[in-house]
Structures are given as C-alpha cells and as structure tokens.
Chains A and B, each alone.
Chain A
C-alpha cells in the first residue's frame, strides 16, 4: 500500500518525538499545533526577539529543551507543519482543523493525539478575583514573556510544579511571599521508595525546596486553603489558610498561582470515541490505553501528558512508542531492541509518577468543605451552593445531568477548570462514589469557534 497518512496533534515533547520517529521511518506526517511555535507548554519558546539563553529559561532542563527544539528544526521540510491551528473535532475518520478563520477536514490512516495537559484545579472561595492564575499560567508568564503575575506572589496547591515555578520566580527576581502545599510532609517520606525510581529528579526536587528556604520564602506543607481575599474591583489582596497545626494564617499578596498537578486534555480522544476508564489512584477518568499508546479505536493513538500525566521526559518516550505502534500496525519495520528499551524506561517513569501521586495527592476532601458561596464555575460565576442544590432539589447525581441543569461545565472553558471539582462536589452532595458521577462528555468544538469560519473542502 501507499505510505499511511499520519496526523500528529501537538508539537510538544511527545508530538515532536513522534513525528521524528515517523520521519526516520520514511513517512511524512502532518503535525497540527495550536501554538505559534513548537515545544508545547513545558518547552514553550519565547518570541524571536527575546534574548534570554536556554539555561536561564529552562534551568536544569535546558539541554532537553534545546535538543527538542533542535530536533524539530531538523524536521522542517520533512513534515507538513500546521502551526497556530486548532484541531477542534474528530468525526468520521477526519480531523477538523481551523486557523485564520478557515476550517478544513483532514483524513488520516493513523492519528496520534499528543494534546498535553492543563492545570488541575480545586476551587477556593475568592478564586475568581483578578490576580488568581493557574500555576501553569504563572510559569508561562515568566518563561514566554519574562513577567511575574504580580508584585507579591503566593504559590498554593500541590505537586512538584509548585516548587519549580516558585523557585524560577525567585531566581528571576520576583517577590515570592510563600509556597503553601496542601500535601502533608509525611506523604512525601512515604512516597520515597517510588520516587527513587528517578533519583536525579528527586535530587532536583530537594534542591528546589532548599533554595526556596534559603531565599527566605516561607514553605508550608499540610495546609488547607480557606479563602483568597480580595474584591470584585481591585482583585486579590491576600490568602487565608489553616496550617498543619490547625492555626489560621493570612498572607498579603496581589497574585496567587494555584494548581494541583495536571489533568490530561482528553476531549479529542473522547470525540474519536476512545473508551475511558476510571482511575481510582488519581480520581479521574482517563482514556483506556494499551501498550505503546494504542486506544480502543483502531488507528487512534495517544502519547504524552494527554494520555496520562507522566511529565516531559516520559512524553518524549511516549511519542516515540506511539510512532512505533503506528509503524508496527502498518507492517513497517521497527527497531525491536529500541522498542524494548523505551518500554522499560517508561515503566520506570510510571513508577515515579505513582510516587508523585502519593506524595502530592489531589485534595478531594476539600470539595466537601467548600462554603456554598464559593464559585465553582469561574466562566459563569456559578456557586458551589447552586451545584449542591441541583443535586439535592433536582436529583442530578451525574455530571452531565448536573451540567444541563445548572451549567457547571457548560461555560467557555468547557469544564476544564471546574469539571474535576464539580464531580467531587456532586459525589459528596449525592452521597455516591465519584466514579458513579461519570465524566463530562467532550464536545466539539473543543474550544470556542467563531460562527464566521468557513469550511474548505480538501
């Protein structure tokens, strides 16, 4: 047969390595990426007229970032690259993409979705005030634009990114008020055996925490967020928490960076009709994937954080594995020894991931403690109380039913930032297991699309 037509969605670590592996096998994949430049979010590139060197931008990961960008440069002319292009639907064997007000449908023999992840958020009262940003946002402001999100910044949430971004802010000269981690310190100790799967990364983590402390930043673990103080007009002016000893404490600030690790962007996999499974470990629905990123749908593959949050290094491996799965399925030759090495390496990455999940858990218990007046849906200012009433008074015990009745998950973010917390709130209010609440269905377009876009026939 003729060469299979492969579409790779995403030009982050997994998308780039996937495309590279396909090109090395003699294929010419189409690479669709929403961003202006390659690198994804983790290795996001600054605009061309910025001058900071790699070491300053990416710290300990500078070599990996440079290598990935270099690999992508080398692919120019060997792939069909569609930057600033959003894949907004997958239907009937075609990927619908849009850029510059035009949309078209691309057919494929194989589709590799490398859609990455966004911050996983648990609301807190006051998180809708101007000056609250996702943790990822705070990093992008610095990395891609050389800005801090405020003049006094509090980092609150959990996960390795919390410490990484806070220390990047300190290094860049920003004023970091405090790092407030919901995970109790002992969880980290208990997770050590798994985290030792990647001793170098663990060592970097320790170094980050001690550099923060050396810089005089307060680092608190085992905290409970109570409120982001502020006003509708002036925005954020402080954070109130309960510390691990049960004392209420306040921190003055004009910006809060918040996040609880990441959640995969699974809408496209959903639209491609991939089967999902409930992951008890992280309390969320994830696409069901077999070896090397094969999904339940023949011809559709997943790689990187969009499949399962394993981090950037594992995303590079995942991209290669998915490409090899494509090649194998089309009866094209694959280097078996390399495949075995990559699989082994990925198993080690997964062990480390389990350690992170254990060390920095999703704070599910906070959902029950949220006051009724806290906003859960930032898009449309819908409160936790309204969602609870939808459960109690209208009998909605399933996520999509609740969404239909009170619009939590219906706004412009399409449930990306309220969905997981909303499900926890529903489960708690209804007295059912989280799994029974189900998951918000992916809907096309996966991001808002102007009615004025014109469809082109390929």
Chain B
C-alpha cells in the first residue's frame, strides 16, 4: 500500500498539488503537511540515528518526530504546518546518519 493514513470524511475540499521525493501527489486544502504526505506515502522521514523510517508520533507539536525536509533544504514540523500548493517534501535522510553500531 502506498499510503499510511486513511481518510474517513471531509473529502470534498479543494485539491492541492505537492511533490513527494520528486513525484507529483495530491493533498486537500486544510490538510496538515503530515496528513498530506501520509495520505500518499508510508513515511515522513528517515531517522538520522539509523533505526529506520518515521511517520510522526504525537501530532500535537510535542515530540518533534515529524520534522521533514523540503527539496530546497528547509525543515518543517509536518504536524503543525498547513500544506500549500507546490510544496516539495523529501522523505529520505539527506545528510549523514549516526546509527548505533554497538
């Protein structure tokens, strides 16, 4: 399956076009960036500590697990950012990872 979240209503909203890892994707106006991405993908980012993919945790701006990279190298907290037309999100870790090799 290509998405993680499941929409249960409120589907009659304007479409918003975004890109995820270079691929075009569709979100709905009023989606948080997190919901926009996770209705098109299984993850938001990769843990820089090498333990795998992450898809957020608290959805209320407390855990900071949903910071995503944009194609132009800025970072956004996906659960508190509203999706905007033309956003381009990268779900792969762009920098070095620091895995636990113990």
Assembly CA distance A447 to B63 (angstroms): 9
Does A208 interact with chain B (Cβ within 8 Å)? no
Residues of chain A within 8 A of B99, CB atoms compared? 381
Residues of chain B within 8 A of A150, CB atoms compared? 4-6
Query: Closest residue of chain A to B30, judged by CB?
Result: A47
Interface size grouping (class) on chain A = 35 or more
Query: Max chain A CB contacts within 10 Å: which of B39, B43, B64?
Result: B64
Asked if B5 contacts A413 (CB within 8 A), the reply is no
- A128-136, A344-352, A435-443: which one contacts chain B? A128-136
Does A174 interact with chain B (Cβ within 8 Å)? yes
Per-residue A-contact encoding for B50-73, CB less than 8 Å = 1, 0 else: 111111111111111101000000
Q: A50-B30, A132-B57, A145-B35 are in contact. Are A416 and B62 (CB under 8 A)?
A: yes
Q: A128-B51, A232-B51, A233-B52 are in contact. Are A134 and B7 (CB under 8 A)?
A: no
A-B contact pairs, 22 of them (CB 8 A): A49-B13, A49-B14, A49-B29, A50-B13, A130-B4, A131-B55, A134-B63, A137-B60, A145-B10, A146-B10, A147-B8, A147-B39, A149-B5, A150-B4, A150-B6, A151-B6, A174-B6, A235-B4, A255-B4, A380-B49, A381-B100, A447-B61
Q: A48-B30, A137-B56 are in contact. Are A381 and B8 (CB under 8 A)?
A: no
Does A403 interact with chain B (Cβ within 8 Å)? no
Tell me the minimal C-beta distance from B12 to chain A in angstroms: 8
Tell me the minimal C-beta distance from A21 to chain B in angstroms: 26
Which residue in B10, B51, B82 is a CB contact (below 8 Å) of A52?
A: B10
Tell me the minimal C-beta distance from A190 to chain B in angstroms: 32
Asked if B42 contacts A235 (CB within 8 A), the reply is yes
Does A288 interact with chain B (Cβ within 8 Å)? no
Asked if A416 contacts B52 (CB within 8 A), the reply is no
- Which of chain A's residues 137-151 have a Cβ closer than 8 Å to chain B? 137, 140-142, 144-151
Q: Is the interface of A mostly helix, strand, loop or mixed?
A: loop
Does B47 interact with chain A (Cβ within 8 Å)? yes
Asked if B58 contacts A137 (CB within 8 A), the reply is yes
- Which of chain A's residues 168-186 have a Cβ closer than 8 Å to chain B? 172-174
Does B31 interact with chain A (Cβ within 8 Å)? yes
Residues of chain A within 8 A of B14, CB atoms compared? 49
Assembly CA distance A244 to B5 (angstroms): 31
Residues of chain B within 8 A of A412, CB atoms compared? 63-65, 67
Residues of A within 8 A of B (CB): 34, 36, 41, 46-52, 118-119, 128-134, 136-137, 140-142, 144-151, 172-174, 231-235, 254-255, 265, 375, 378-383, 386, 412-413, 416-417, 447-448
Tell me the minimal C-beta distance from A112 to chain B in angstroms: 21
Asked if B5 contacts A148 (CB within 8 A), the reply is yes
Assembly CA distance A118 to B43 (angstroms): 23
Residues of B within 8 A of A (CB): 1, 4-10, 12-14, 29-32, 35, 38-39, 42-43, 47, 49-65, 67, 80, 82, 99-100, 102
Asked if B5 contacts A147 (CB within 8 A), the reply is yes
Asked if A136 contacts B55 (CB within 8 A), the reply is no
Asked if A235 contacts B60 (CB within 8 A), the reply is no
Assembly CA distance A152 to B93 (angstroms): 28
Tell me the minimal C-beta distance from B63 to chain A in angstroms: 5
Tell me the minimal C-beta distance from A453 to chain B in angstroms: 14
Residues of chain B within 8 A of A130, CB atoms compared? 4, 42-43, 52-55
Residues of chain A within 8 A of B38, CB atoms compared? 147
Tell me the minimal C-beta distance from B85 to chain A in angstroms: 14
Asked if A417 contacts B35 (CB within 8 A), the reply is no
Residues of chain B within 8 A of A146, CB atoms compared? 7-10
Asked if B7 contacts A232 (CB within 8 A), the reply is no
Asked if A147 contacts B35 (CB within 8 A), the reply is yes
Assembly CA distance A173 to B49 (angstroms): 36
Tell me the minimal C-beta distance from B29 to chain A in angstroms: 6
Query: Closest residue of chain B to A383, judged by CB?
Result: B100
